[in-house]
Amino acid sequence: MKKNTNNKKKRILTGDRPTGPLHIGHYVGSLMNRVKLQDEYDCFFIIADYQVLTDHLSDTAGIEGNIREILLDWLAVGLDPDKSTFFIQSRIPQIAELTMYFSMIVSVSEVQRNPTVKDEMKAAKIGKKEMSYGFMGYPISQAADIMCVRADLVPVGEDQLPHIEHTREIARRFNRLFSPVFPEPQALLGSFPRLPGIDGQKMSKSRNNAIFLKDSPDDVRKKIMQAYTDPTRIHATDPGHLEGNVVFAYLDAFLQDKDELDDWKKKYKKGHVGDVALKKRLIEILTEFLAPIQEQRAALARKHDMLEEILATGIKRATHEAQTTLELARQAMSLDYASLLRKK
Protein backbone atom coordinates (compact mmCIF):
# COMPACT_ATOMS: atom_id res chain seq x y z
CA MET A 1 0.00 0.00 0.00
CA LYS A 2 1.26 3.45 -0.82
CA LYS A 3 1.98 5.31 2.34
CA ASN A 4 0.50 8.75 2.41
CA THR A 5 2.93 10.51 4.71
CA ASN A 6 1.35 13.86 3.99
CA ASN A 7 -1.68 13.09 6.11
CA LYS A 8 0.40 12.51 9.18
CA LYS A 9 2.35 15.72 8.89
CA LYS A 10 1.26 18.60 11.03
CA ARG A 11 0.17 21.60 9.08
CA ILE A 12 1.80 25.02 9.01
CA LEU A 13 0.51 28.29 7.66
CA THR A 14 2.49 31.51 7.49
CA GLY A 15 3.23 34.21 4.97
CA ASP A 16 4.06 37.75 4.00
CA ARG A 17 2.40 40.95 2.88
CA PRO A 18 3.27 41.89 -0.69
CA THR A 19 4.50 45.40 0.09
CA GLY A 20 7.90 45.00 -1.61
CA PRO A 21 10.88 42.71 -1.93
CA LEU A 22 12.00 40.79 1.16
CA HIS A 23 15.06 41.79 3.18
CA ILE A 24 17.74 40.04 5.23
CA GLY A 25 15.62 40.62 8.34
CA HIS A 26 12.89 38.46 6.78
CA TYR A 27 15.53 35.90 5.90
CA VAL A 28 16.95 35.58 9.39
CA GLY A 29 13.63 36.03 11.17
CA SER A 30 11.50 33.68 9.11
CA LEU A 31 12.57 32.49 5.66
CA MET A 32 15.54 30.51 6.99
CA ASN A 33 13.24 28.78 9.43
CA ARG A 34 10.59 28.06 6.79
CA VAL A 35 13.10 26.37 4.53
CA LYS A 36 13.82 23.87 7.29
CA LEU A 37 10.20 23.40 8.32
CA GLN A 38 9.17 22.36 4.82
CA ASP A 39 10.54 18.85 5.23
CA GLU A 40 8.83 18.08 8.48
CA TYR A 41 5.50 19.83 7.97
CA ASP A 42 2.83 20.30 5.37
CA CYS A 43 3.43 24.00 4.76
CA PHE A 44 1.08 26.61 3.32
CA PHE A 45 2.62 29.96 2.46
CA ILE A 46 0.21 32.83 1.98
CA ILE A 47 0.79 36.07 0.11
CA ALA A 48 -1.48 38.33 2.12
CA ASP A 49 -2.70 40.88 -0.41
CA TYR A 50 -5.83 41.90 1.55
CA GLN A 51 -3.53 43.11 4.29
CA VAL A 52 -1.78 45.51 1.94
CA LEU A 53 -5.10 47.33 1.59
CA THR A 54 -5.04 48.29 5.27
CA ASP A 55 -2.31 50.79 4.60
CA HIS A 56 -1.40 51.16 0.92
CA LEU A 57 -4.73 51.86 -0.78
CA SER A 58 -3.13 54.49 -2.96
CA ASP A 59 -0.82 52.02 -4.63
CA THR A 60 -2.92 49.00 -5.48
CA ALA A 61 -1.33 48.96 -8.93
CA GLY A 62 1.97 48.00 -7.30
CA ILE A 63 0.64 44.89 -5.55
CA GLU A 64 0.97 42.56 -8.52
CA GLY A 65 4.64 43.38 -9.00
CA ASN A 66 5.22 42.89 -5.28
CA ILE A 67 3.57 39.48 -5.35
CA ARG A 68 6.03 38.53 -8.05
CA GLU A 69 8.95 39.87 -5.98
CA ILE A 70 7.90 37.82 -2.99
CA LEU A 71 7.50 34.69 -5.05
CA LEU A 72 10.98 35.17 -6.49
CA ASP A 73 12.45 35.77 -3.05
CA TRP A 74 10.73 32.70 -1.62
CA LEU A 75 11.93 30.47 -4.42
CA ALA A 76 15.44 31.92 -4.46
CA VAL A 77 16.03 31.17 -0.76
CA GLY A 78 14.75 27.63 -1.13
CA LEU A 79 11.04 27.53 -0.38
CA ASP A 80 10.02 24.66 -2.58
CA PRO A 81 6.64 24.48 -4.35
CA ASP A 82 7.08 20.71 -4.68
CA LYS A 83 7.02 20.43 -0.90
CA SER A 84 4.83 23.38 0.05
CA THR A 85 1.74 25.23 -1.13
CA PHE A 86 2.09 28.87 -2.25
CA PHE A 87 -1.08 30.90 -2.65
CA ILE A 88 -2.63 34.37 -2.77
CA GLN A 89 -5.05 35.30 0.00
CA SER A 90 -7.66 37.08 -2.13
CA ARG A 91 -7.89 34.13 -4.52
CA ILE A 92 -9.39 31.90 -1.83
CA PRO A 93 -12.95 33.18 -1.42
CA GLN A 94 -13.46 30.84 1.54
CA ILE A 95 -11.11 33.07 3.54
CA ALA A 96 -13.57 35.94 3.13
CA GLU A 97 -16.48 33.67 4.06
CA LEU A 98 -14.76 32.40 7.16
CA THR A 99 -13.85 35.97 8.13
CA MET A 100 -17.57 36.78 8.01
CA TYR A 101 -18.48 33.95 10.35
CA PHE A 102 -15.62 34.75 12.72
CA SER A 103 -16.54 38.43 12.77
CA MET A 104 -19.77 37.47 14.50
CA ILE A 105 -18.03 35.84 17.43
CA VAL A 106 -15.48 38.59 18.07
CA SER A 107 -16.22 41.79 19.94
CA VAL A 108 -15.21 45.22 18.71
CA SER A 109 -13.37 46.02 21.93
CA GLU A 110 -11.34 42.84 21.57
CA VAL A 111 -10.00 43.93 18.19
CA GLN A 112 -9.41 47.46 19.38
CA ARG A 113 -7.16 46.16 22.15
CA ASN A 114 -4.75 44.44 19.76
CA PRO A 115 -1.32 46.03 20.42
CA THR A 116 0.05 45.21 16.96
CA VAL A 117 -2.88 46.95 15.28
CA LYS A 118 -2.29 49.95 17.55
CA ASP A 119 1.41 50.07 16.61
CA GLU A 120 0.59 49.80 12.93
CA MET A 121 -1.95 52.61 13.19
CA LYS A 122 0.71 54.78 14.76
CA ALA A 123 3.29 53.87 12.12
CA ALA A 124 0.79 54.59 9.34
CA LYS A 125 -0.25 57.82 11.10
CA ILE A 126 -3.89 56.77 11.08
CA GLY A 127 -6.16 57.98 13.87
CA LYS A 128 -8.99 55.92 15.37
CA LYS A 129 -11.58 57.92 13.48
CA GLU A 130 -10.08 57.37 10.04
CA MET A 131 -9.19 53.73 10.58
CA SER A 132 -11.06 51.58 8.11
CA TYR A 133 -13.28 48.74 9.20
CA GLY A 134 -11.01 46.41 7.21
CA PHE A 135 -7.86 47.64 8.96
CA MET A 136 -9.37 47.13 12.38
CA GLY A 137 -10.60 43.70 11.39
CA TYR A 138 -7.58 42.35 9.57
CA PRO A 139 -6.53 40.14 12.50
CA ILE A 140 -9.88 38.35 12.08
CA SER A 141 -9.14 37.82 8.43
CA GLN A 142 -5.70 36.56 9.42
CA ALA A 143 -7.37 34.08 11.77
CA ALA A 144 -9.34 32.91 8.73
CA ASP A 145 -6.09 32.56 6.72
CA ILE A 146 -4.76 30.25 9.37
CA MET A 147 -7.92 28.30 10.00
CA CYS A 148 -9.10 27.89 6.43
CA VAL A 149 -6.46 25.16 6.13
CA ARG A 150 -6.89 24.14 9.78
CA ALA A 151 -3.21 24.83 10.52
CA ASP A 152 -1.61 23.49 13.69
CA LEU A 153 1.39 25.78 13.77
CA VAL A 154 2.09 29.35 12.71
CA PRO A 155 5.76 30.38 12.49
CA VAL A 156 5.88 34.14 13.05
CA GLY A 157 7.85 36.99 14.53
CA GLU A 158 6.99 38.37 17.93
CA ASP A 159 4.86 41.23 16.59
CA GLN A 160 2.36 38.66 15.32
CA LEU A 161 1.80 36.99 18.69
CA PRO A 162 -1.34 39.01 19.55
CA HIS A 163 -2.89 37.83 16.27
CA ILE A 164 -2.11 34.20 16.99
CA GLU A 165 -3.44 34.52 20.53
CA HIS A 166 -6.64 35.97 19.13
CA THR A 167 -6.82 33.21 16.51
CA ARG A 168 -6.62 30.63 19.29
CA GLU A 169 -9.39 32.37 21.18
CA ILE A 170 -11.58 32.39 18.06
CA ALA A 171 -10.93 28.67 17.51
CA ARG A 172 -11.87 27.86 21.10
CA ARG A 173 -14.96 30.03 20.92
CA PHE A 174 -16.14 28.55 17.63
CA ASN A 175 -15.53 25.00 18.83
CA ARG A 176 -17.36 25.66 22.08
CA LEU A 177 -20.34 27.43 20.49
CA PHE A 178 -20.82 24.96 17.64
CA SER A 179 -18.67 21.85 17.46
CA PRO A 180 -14.95 21.16 17.39
CA VAL A 181 -13.85 22.00 13.86
CA PHE A 182 -10.61 23.92 14.38
CA PRO A 183 -7.29 22.96 15.95
CA GLU A 184 -5.97 25.64 18.32
CA PRO A 185 -3.02 26.85 16.27
CA GLN A 186 0.24 27.48 18.06
CA ALA A 187 2.75 30.20 17.31
CA LEU A 188 6.24 29.03 16.50
CA LEU A 189 8.82 31.70 17.27
CA GLY A 190 12.13 31.65 15.41
CA SER A 191 15.30 31.18 17.42
CA PHE A 192 17.01 34.26 16.11
CA PRO A 193 16.38 37.76 17.50
CA ARG A 194 15.02 40.30 15.04
CA LEU A 195 17.69 41.98 12.92
CA PRO A 196 17.79 45.77 13.19
CA GLY A 197 17.90 48.01 10.12
CA ILE A 198 21.15 49.79 9.28
CA ASP A 199 20.05 52.70 11.53
CA GLY A 200 19.44 50.42 14.51
CA GLN A 201 15.63 50.77 14.26
CA LYS A 202 13.23 48.02 13.21
CA MET A 203 14.18 46.92 9.69
CA SER A 204 11.48 47.81 7.19
CA LYS A 205 11.10 48.99 3.65
CA SER A 206 9.23 52.10 4.69
CA ARG A 207 11.99 53.20 7.05
CA ASN A 208 14.54 53.00 4.25
CA ASN A 209 16.94 51.04 6.40
CA ALA A 210 16.64 47.56 4.91
CA ILE A 211 19.12 45.40 3.02
CA PHE A 212 17.09 43.53 0.43
CA LEU A 213 17.86 40.05 -0.79
CA LYS A 214 18.00 41.52 -4.27
CA ASP A 215 20.42 44.37 -3.39
CA SER A 216 23.47 44.55 -5.65
CA PRO A 217 26.97 44.30 -4.10
CA ASP A 218 27.27 48.04 -4.59
CA ASP A 219 24.02 48.72 -2.68
CA VAL A 220 25.16 46.41 0.09
CA ARG A 221 28.49 48.19 0.34
CA LYS A 222 26.90 51.64 0.49
CA LYS A 223 24.37 50.60 3.09
CA ILE A 224 26.83 48.80 5.35
CA MET A 225 29.27 51.70 5.22
CA GLN A 226 26.45 53.85 6.68
CA ALA A 227 25.40 51.29 9.28
CA TYR A 228 25.17 52.31 12.90
CA THR A 229 27.93 50.91 15.12
CA ASP A 230 29.04 52.37 18.43
CA PRO A 231 28.39 56.09 18.90
CA THR A 232 30.65 56.27 21.95
CA ARG A 233 33.66 55.34 19.92
CA ILE A 234 35.54 58.22 18.30
CA HIS A 235 38.85 56.58 17.40
CA ALA A 236 39.50 53.05 16.20
CA THR A 237 41.67 52.58 19.27
CA ASP A 238 38.81 53.34 21.70
CA PRO A 239 37.28 50.21 23.23
CA GLY A 240 34.10 49.37 21.30
CA HIS A 241 30.68 48.13 22.39
CA LEU A 242 28.78 45.24 20.88
CA GLU A 243 25.31 45.95 22.30
CA GLY A 244 23.10 47.77 19.84
CA ASN A 245 25.86 47.54 17.26
CA VAL A 246 24.23 46.78 13.92
CA VAL A 247 27.39 45.41 12.32
CA PHE A 248 27.74 42.81 15.05
CA ALA A 249 24.04 41.95 14.87
CA TYR A 250 24.57 41.12 11.19
CA LEU A 251 27.83 39.26 11.82
CA ASP A 252 26.11 37.17 14.50
CA ALA A 253 23.56 36.15 11.90
CA PHE A 254 25.75 35.66 8.85
CA LEU A 255 29.31 34.82 9.93
CA GLN A 256 29.35 31.03 10.12
CA ASP A 257 32.88 30.72 11.50
CA LYS A 258 32.29 31.32 15.20
CA ASP A 259 36.01 31.48 16.02
CA GLU A 260 36.44 34.31 13.60
CA LEU A 261 33.38 36.00 15.09
CA ASP A 262 34.79 35.75 18.62
CA ASP A 263 38.07 37.11 17.39
CA TRP A 264 36.43 40.21 15.88
CA LYS A 265 34.46 40.75 19.06
CA LYS A 266 37.55 40.54 21.26
CA LYS A 267 39.51 42.89 19.07
CA TYR A 268 36.63 45.34 18.80
CA LYS A 269 36.12 45.52 22.55
CA LYS A 270 39.80 46.19 23.06
CA GLY A 271 39.93 48.86 20.39
CA HIS A 272 42.22 46.81 18.16
CA VAL A 273 40.09 47.08 15.05
CA GLY A 274 38.36 49.95 13.31
CA ASP A 275 34.81 50.16 12.01
CA VAL A 276 35.95 50.27 8.41
CA ALA A 277 37.89 47.01 8.53
CA LEU A 278 35.00 45.34 10.30
CA LYS A 279 32.48 46.67 7.81
CA LYS A 280 34.59 45.54 4.89
CA ARG A 281 34.56 42.00 6.21
CA LEU A 282 30.78 42.18 6.73
CA ILE A 283 30.27 43.43 3.18
CA GLU A 284 32.29 40.46 1.93
CA ILE A 285 30.23 38.02 3.98
CA LEU A 286 26.88 39.48 2.96
CA THR A 287 27.81 39.69 -0.71
CA GLU A 288 28.92 36.08 -0.64
CA PHE A 289 25.71 35.05 1.08
CA LEU A 290 23.51 36.94 -1.37
CA ALA A 291 25.30 35.88 -4.58
CA PRO A 292 23.74 32.41 -5.01
CA ILE A 293 20.31 33.72 -3.96
CA GLN A 294 20.53 36.44 -6.59
CA GLU A 295 21.72 34.02 -9.23
CA GLN A 296 18.70 31.85 -8.54
CA ARG A 297 16.45 34.86 -8.52
CA ALA A 298 17.68 36.03 -11.90
CA ALA A 299 17.20 32.57 -13.42
CA LEU A 300 13.69 32.31 -11.99
CA ALA A 301 12.73 35.78 -13.12
CA ARG A 302 13.08 34.56 -16.70
CA LYS A 303 10.64 31.69 -16.11
CA HIS A 304 7.37 33.50 -16.06
CA ASP A 305 5.34 30.42 -16.96
CA MET A 306 6.76 28.59 -14.01
CA LEU A 307 5.64 31.32 -11.61
CA GLU A 308 2.13 31.16 -13.05
CA GLU A 309 2.11 27.41 -12.72
CA ILE A 310 3.28 27.49 -9.09
CA LEU A 311 0.52 29.91 -8.15
CA ALA A 312 -2.16 28.04 -10.06
CA THR A 313 -1.22 24.76 -8.38
CA GLY A 314 -0.99 26.35 -4.95
CA ILE A 315 -4.28 28.18 -5.25
CA LYS A 316 -5.97 24.97 -6.35
CA ARG A 317 -4.71 23.02 -3.38
CA ALA A 318 -5.47 25.80 -0.87
CA THR A 319 -8.98 26.11 -2.33
CA HIS A 320 -9.54 22.41 -1.96
CA GLU A 321 -8.58 22.51 1.72
CA ALA A 322 -10.57 25.67 2.35
CA GLN A 323 -13.68 24.17 0.74
CA THR A 324 -13.50 21.23 3.10
CA THR A 325 -13.06 23.59 6.04
CA LEU A 326 -16.05 25.70 5.05
CA GLU A 327 -18.22 22.63 4.67
CA LEU A 328 -17.28 21.58 8.17
CA ALA A 329 -17.83 25.07 9.55
CA ARG A 330 -21.25 25.43 7.91
CA GLN A 331 -22.32 22.04 9.13
CA ALA A 332 -21.21 22.92 12.64
CA MET A 333 -23.20 26.16 12.48
CA SER A 334 -26.20 24.44 10.90
CA LEU A 335 -25.78 26.66 7.87
CA ASP A 336 -25.36 23.85 5.38
CA TYR A 337 -29.14 23.81 4.70
CA ALA A 338 -28.82 20.24 3.54
CA SER A 339 -32.55 19.73 3.02
CA LEU A 340 -32.89 22.79 0.80
CA LEU A 341 -29.68 22.82 -1.15
CA ARG A 342 -28.53 19.90 -3.18
CA LYS A 343 -24.85 19.13 -2.90
CA LYS A 344 -23.04 19.91 -6.11
* Residue ranges binding ligand TRP (CB under 6 A): 13-17, 46, 48, 51, 142, 145-146, 154, 156, 160
Q: Which residue's CB atom is positioned nearest to ligand TRP?
A: 48
Any alpha helices (H) in the chain, and if so which ranges? 24-26, 32-40, 49-52, 63-77, 93-103, 108-112, 115-123, 133-148, 161-177, 217-226, 246-254, 258-270, 275-301, 304-332
Q: In whole angstroms, how close is the CB of 146 to ligand TRP at the nearest point?
A: 5
The least distance separating ligand TRP from the CB of residue 48, rounded to whole angstroms, comes to: 3
What is the smallest separation between the CB atom of 142 and ligand TRP, expressed in angstroms? Answer: 4
What's the min distance (Å) between Cβ of 138 and ligand TRP?
8
Taking the least distance from each CB to ligand TRP, the nearer of 48 and 76 is: 48
Of the pair 190, 217, the CB lying nearest ligand TRP is at 190
CB of 84 or CB of 142, closer to ligand TRP: 142
215 three-state secondary structure: coil
Q: DSSP for 99-160, please give it.
A: HHHHHTTS-HHHHHT-HHHHHHHHHTT--TTT--HHHHHHHHHHHHHHHHTT-SEEEE-GGG
Least distance in angstroms from the C-beta of 140 to ligand TRP: 11
Shortest distance, position 154 Cβ to ligand TRP, whole Å: 5
In b/e form, how buried is each residue of 67-106, taking b as 16+ CB within 10 angstroms?
bbbbbbbbbbbebebeebbbbbbebbebbebbbebbbeeb
Smallest distance from ligand TRP to CB 308, Å: 22
User: Closer CB to ligand TRP, residue 15 or residue 25?
Assistant: 15
> What is the rounded distance in angstroms from the CA atom of residue 37 to the CA atom of residue 17?
20
Q: Are 81 and 75 in contact (CB under 8 A)?
A: yes
For ligand TRP, the closer CB: 46 or 72: 46
Among residues 157 and 271, whose Cβ is nearest to ligand TRP? 157
Number of residues that this document lists for the chain: 344
Nearer to ligand TRP, 30 or 229 (CB): 30
Phi, psi of 340 (to 5 degrees): -100, -30
